[in-house]
Amino acid sequence: MTAAAVTADQLLARVRELLAAHPPATTARGAFLRARFDAGLAWVHYPEGLGGTGAARSLQGIVDAELEAAGAPDNDPRRIGIGLGMAAPTILAYGTEEQKRRFLRPLWTGEEVWCQLFSEPGAGSDLAALGTRAVRDGEDWVVEGQKVWTSSAHTARWAILIARTDPALPKHQGITYFLCDMTAPGVEVRPLRQITGEAEFNEVFLTGVRIPDAHRLGEVGQGWAVARTTLMNERVSIGGMRIPREGGMIAPVAAAWRERPELRTHDLHQRLLELWVEAEVARLTGERLRQQLALGQPGPEGSGMKLTFARLNQEISGLEVELLGEEGLLYEDWTLRRPEIVDFTGRDAGYRYLRAKGNSIEGGTSEILLNIVAERVLGLPAEPRDDKDLAWKDLAR
C-alpha cells in the first residue's frame, strides 16, 4: 500500500484482526507486541515489513487509542525511549535492509534496549571534537575510547556509537557511525552518581572492542551527517513528547494549589498562572511540531522545543518546592539506585527539582541549542569557527 492508499478505516480493520487473532487478555505481552509489529501497527508510517504500512504518521494516534481501549499492552516507551526516539529513525534513514530487519523489531518490542555513545569527557558541547578511535582490521573495526553521560548503558543491549576513523580530516569529516554490541568484550560500564543520589547515567570505556563492518551505519566518514539525524530526533523526543492538557511537570503543582489552599500566596498565584500558560503554549507547539514531523524529517525547530522544555521544567519544579515550603525540601531516597527509566511521576518535589537541573544539559546543552536556533531557525550569522577546516589531529586539546 502507498501512504495515500492507507486510510484510517483500513488501519482499524488491521487492529480488529490483530485483537481477534491475539486477544490481549490471553496473549503473552511479548507475543502480542511482536504480532502488532508484524501487523504494521507499531509505527504506521514506517514501510511494510518494518512495523508499518506506509500510512500517514498522523494516523498513529487512532491505532494507539483503539488498542489502549481494548486493554492491549504497550511497549513501555519510557524504558526504551533512546531506541524509539533516536536509534530507530536513524536506522530507518541510513541502515541497510538487513540492518533494518535485524534491529527494528526487537527495538520496538523492548526486547533489546538501546543507549547512545556520543558524548566524551572532552567532547560534549563540541561533539565533533570526539577522540574515540575506530581502526579498520579486516572485516572489523577496533574501537578505543571513553564515553560519558550514557543513559541506560547498564541495561542496554545495543548502542549507537560515533567514533573517529580518520584523524587527518577536519573534525566533522573523519567520523563514522556504528551499532555497538554492549555485551562485546572490552565494553565496561561504570555508574555516575547524580545529585539525586541515583545513577541512571554512566561512563563507558571501550578497550579493543571489535565491531563488524556490517554494523557500520552509513558510509565511512559520513558519521556526522548520520549523527545529526539522531540528534534532531533526540531533541524532538525530549522536548516534543505528547502530554495531555495540564500534564507533565505542571500537573503536581496545579494539584497542590487546588487541594491545599493554606499554601497559596498572591505572588505564587501569579507565577503559577504564568507558568501554566507557558506550559500550555509549549504543549500546543509540540502538537504542531509533530504535525510537521508527519511530513518529513525533524528540523532545527526541535531544538527550540527542547530549550523550552528544559527551562519550564526547572522553573516549574522550583515553584513547586517554594510552594511546599519546608516540605518541598524533603527527598526520601538518597541511596545509590540504578533506575531503568527517568521517572518524574510519583516522586518527591525535591527529586523533581534536582533532576530537572539535568534537562538543560542532556540532549544538547541549552547554550548550544541557542546557537542552533539563532543560526538555523532565525538565520543569524554563525559564530566564527577557526577550527572548521583544520585536521582533527592538529587541533589544540
Q: Which positions are catalytic?
A: 234
Determine the Cα–Cα distance for residues 100 and 91; give it in Å rounded to an integer. 6
Indicate if the alpha-carbon torsion angle 240, 242, 247, 248 is positive or negative: negative
CB contact at 8 A, 243 and 182: no
Give which of 344, 346, 318, 348 is closest to 331, Cα–Cα: 348
User: Which residues make Cβ contacts (< 8 Å) with residue 292, sequence separation at least 6?
Assistant: 298, 299, 301
Cα 287 to Cα 215, 290, 294, distances in angstroms = 35, 5, 11
Q: Which helix (H) or strand (E) holds 117?
A: strand 114-117
> How do 158-164 and 114-117 pair as beta strands?
parallel
User: What are the beta bridge partners of residue 175?
Assistant: 164
